[in-house]
Amino acid sequence: MHSDKIRLGLIGGGSNSFIGVVHRIAANMGERYQLTGGVFGSDYQLSKEFAQQRGLDLSRTYADLDSFIQGELTRPASERIEVVSILTPNFLHYPMATQLINAGFHVICEKPITLSAAEAEEIESLVQQKQTVFALTHTYTGYPMVRQMREMIANGEIGKVQKVDAQYYQGWINPFIHEAEKRTAVWRLNPQKSGLSCCMGDVGIHAFNLVEYTTGLEVERVLGDIDTLYDNNPLDVDGTALFRTREGVRGIIRASQIATGEENNIAIAVYGDRGALKWEQESPTVLYHLREDKPLQIYKPGNAYNHDFTRQSTKIAPGHPEGLFDAMGNIYQGAAQAIRGEPYCGGAFPGVKDGVRGMKFVEAVLQSSRAGQVWVEL
């Protein structure tokens, strides 16, 4: 093991976990991390088999979080795991993050950060108290062209923002939602595991995060309308939120998991008084710049005309597509720089504040909808 690499642990993410594959590849991309151990699943035997297949030290494969913390803290600081990625269902994020931060570990956590804004604020306070690094994997902020969009807006290249339109459409719940028995097998539709929301808490929160990340504006209040589709389905599977920022900018966030045929259609358009920018994840290497006095302009990663932050976020030559793994890799790179005390660009990784903002958004949308579509402040 190279002594300069950050020793990484995983909680969850083993066996056939899709998100585990994404995180492991992303962590390897910048050659800043060394996967060292963890709790790779709730089944200890499968966890050990996973570790053995990857040549990991079985003595650092633990049955649960308590034994992980106890085992790692008995090791010298120069050997123990430094940062832990939490890749579990939503309801475990808060208790696990709290334990790990209290024990002095840095944390990289899947979103949503917690099940409530109050829990998120507790983690925010704890991170400040313990002076640890906390990265939240709003993966789409890692795309080079999303970062280019952020830099162009910050530099005034589209003028004053006056309208924002963000969406995240999926259709994956369609095969399960129409039969009550099938719904019980989907953990994201179980309030005990998923929390207050399914659709808004899972994908709407990503669209909200992109709004604030790209524009630099903060949403002040929302007017929400959510749909559970069936009265006996406890969580939302579709929703729309009008919003207004502190600066008075109007916008809309649309989210759905019953948009038949849609895969992962997350997109954002920001309209200023001198131009507009549009990006969608299913064509992630293209950023459209619209102006009234000139033809449509297209920005692509890997080119010298991009901003410094964009170029730092691009790993390969122009013309080669970069995707989800690369975006997550950029977030891991930013977290590594923070952990090692190195300088890094603003926006290099979403942090605990983004988690708090996201949970406040979800709660406000739900409150607004249930109150009969009234404006609710975050």
Co-location of 213 and 236 in the same domain: yes
Report the pLDDT averaged over residues 47-70.
96
Percent of residues, the chain, with pLDDT higher than 90: 96
Co-location of 230 and 105 in the same domain: no
Co-location of 122 and 167 in the same domain: no
Please give the pLDDT value at position 1: 43
224 in a structural domain: yes
Check whether 51 has a pLDDT greater than 90: yes
Co-location of 355 and 224 in the same domain: yes
Q: Are 267 and 281 in contact (CB under 8 A)?
A: yes
pLDDT range class, residue 16, cuts 50, 70, 90: confident
Co-location of 216 and 255 in the same domain: yes
pLDDT range class, residue 131, cuts 50, 70, 90: very high
pLDDT range class, residue 195, cuts 50, 70, 90: very high
Q: Mind listing the pLDDT tens digit for each residue in 240-276?
A: 999 999 999 999 999 999 999 999 999 999 999 999 9
- Cα dihedral 108, 111, 115, 119 in deg (nearest 10): 40
Which residue range is the domain that position 260 belongs to? 143-312+351-370
Q: How many C-beta atoms lie closer than 10 Å to residue 168's C-beta?
A: 28
Q: Mind listing the pLDDT tens digit for each residue in 268-283?
A: 999 999 999 999 999 9
Please give the pLDDT value at position 105: 98
Type of residue numbered 138: H
CA angle 91, 92, 98 (to 5 degrees): 120
pLDDT range class, residue 14, cuts 50, 70, 90: very high
What is the chain's mean pLDDT, rounded? 96
Check whether 2 has a pLDDT greater than 70: no
CA distance linking residue 60 with residue 80, whole number of Å: 10
Burial of 246 by CB count in 10 Å (0-12 exposed, 13-18 middle, 19+ buried)?
A: exposed
Report the pLDDT averaged over residues 210-230.
98
Q: Mind listing the pLDDT tens digit for each residue in 296-335?
A: 999 999 999 999 999 999 999 999 988 999 999 999 999 9
| CATH code (residue 20) | 3.40.50.720
Co-location of 106 and 167 in the same domain: no
